[in-house]
């Protein structure tokens, strides 16, 4: 059995559907996450408040455009092993209680909060995380936003890596990066690459673990950065929406040589 611990947004559910099409026996644990459209930070002036509203509404619309709002329905009809948790349940014992009653040796997480080593030790074969960013360049928070802000949207990607104590720092199993579309905005980049990853990687994982062969990730020694929550401010949105009109792909394709990052994979 494979255990998936994910958030509850459409993109998370879409990935679970893809796993459900490739694996017969799945346990899905769903963590309730923040609202898709969060509250506006009203400590900023009306102009910045409006940019926040535009940013998060565009994110919600883009996610709906790339993923069916019915994502997750397939998984729910196929499996009866579905549990819902809150953030605090990861550490208060509820998650451990669920896992104690499940015979599973494979864990894949996506969009949930950090899980303790004690809990991770229950999985003896594979413990992997899906990170919405290209490690090591973009680790941490908002790592689908920062590549566009830094005028290198070609670094928008997804990293599948071993779970470790380091933030998004475990050995890398596989990476997917964006194929830039000049018409895409910052959110389109994010969801386009997540969809690509979700459509292809679960079947790659299945073909690689069918005989429970040991899969060892690659320690990427390239220099990078951990982007923290404190680094992001609504003021950054002025660059995206007022300077570049959310057309950063088009600007970069027209004004610089696009050198895609060297990706890592141990899947075949």
For the chain, the structural domain boundaries read 2-255
CATH of domain 2-255: 3.40.50.12230
CA neighbor of 160 nearest in space, from 145, 150, 170, 151:
170
b/e per residue, 215-240, with b = 16+ CB within 10 A? bebeebeeebebbeeeebeeebbeeb
Which tokens in the block code for residue 64?
Answer: 């709906």
**pLDDT the model gives residue 218:** 94
Whether the CB-CB separation of 67 and 195 falls below 8 Å is answered with: yes
Task: Please list the pLDDT of the chain residue by residue as tens digits (268 residues).
Answer: 899 999 999 999 999 999 999 998 999 999 999 888 999 999 999 999 999 999 999 999 999 999 988 888 888 887 779 999 999 999 999 999 999 999 999 999 999 999 999 999 999 899 999 999 999 999 999 999 999 999 999 999 999 999 987 777 799 999 999 999 999 999 999 999 999 999 999 999 999 987 667 899 999 777 788 999 999 999 999 999 999 999 999 999 999 999 989 999 999 8
Single pTM value for the model: 0.94
For the chain, how many helices (H) and strands (E)? Answer: 9, 9
Q: What is the DSSP string of 62-107?
A: HHHHHS-TTTTHHHHHH-S-EEEE-GGGGTSSHHHHHHHT----EE
Q: Are 130 and 108 in contact (CB under 8 A)?
A: yes
Among the listed residues 161, 67, 157, 171, the one whose alpha carbon sits nearest the alpha carbon of residue 107: 161
Q: Report pLDDT for 167.
A: 76
pLDDT of res. 193: 98
How much is the pLDDT for 169? Answer: 78
C-alpha pair distances (Å), 101 with each of 81, 84, 120, 125: 11, 15, 15, 17
């Amino acid at each position: 059995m494979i255990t998936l611990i994910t958030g509850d947004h459409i993109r998370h559910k879409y990935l679970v559907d893809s796993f459900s099409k490739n694996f017969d026996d799945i346990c899905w644990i769903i963590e309730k996450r923040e609202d898709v459209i969060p509250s506006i930070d009203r400590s900023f002036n009306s102009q910045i408040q409006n940019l926040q509203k535009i940013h998060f509404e565009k994110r919600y619309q883009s996610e709906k455009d790339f993923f069916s709002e019915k994502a997750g329905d397939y998984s729910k009809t196929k499996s009866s092993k579905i549990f819902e948790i809150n953030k605090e349940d990861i550490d208060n014992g509820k998650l451990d209680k669920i896992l104690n009653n499940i015979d599973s040796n494979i864990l894949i997480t996506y969009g949930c909060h950090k899980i303790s080593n004690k809990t991770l030790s229950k999985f003896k074969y594979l413990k992997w995380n899906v990170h919405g960013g290209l490690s090591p360049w973009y680790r941490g928070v908002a790592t689908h936003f920062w590549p566009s802000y830094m005028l290198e949207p070609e670094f928008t990607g997804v990293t599948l890596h071993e779970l470790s104590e380091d933030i998004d720092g475990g050995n890398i199993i596989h990476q997917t990066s964006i194929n830039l579309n000049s018409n895409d905005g910052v959110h389109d980049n994010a969801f386009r690459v997540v969809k690509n990853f979700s459509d292809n990687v679960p079947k790659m994982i299945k073909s690689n673990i069918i005989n429970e062969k040991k899969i060892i990730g690659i320690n990427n020694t390239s220099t990078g950065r951990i982007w923290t929550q404190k680094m992001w401010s609504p003021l950054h949105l002025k660059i995206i929406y007022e300077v570049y009109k959310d057309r950063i792909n088009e600007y970069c394709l027209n004004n610089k040589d696009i050198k895609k990052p060297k990706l890592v994979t141990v899947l075949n």
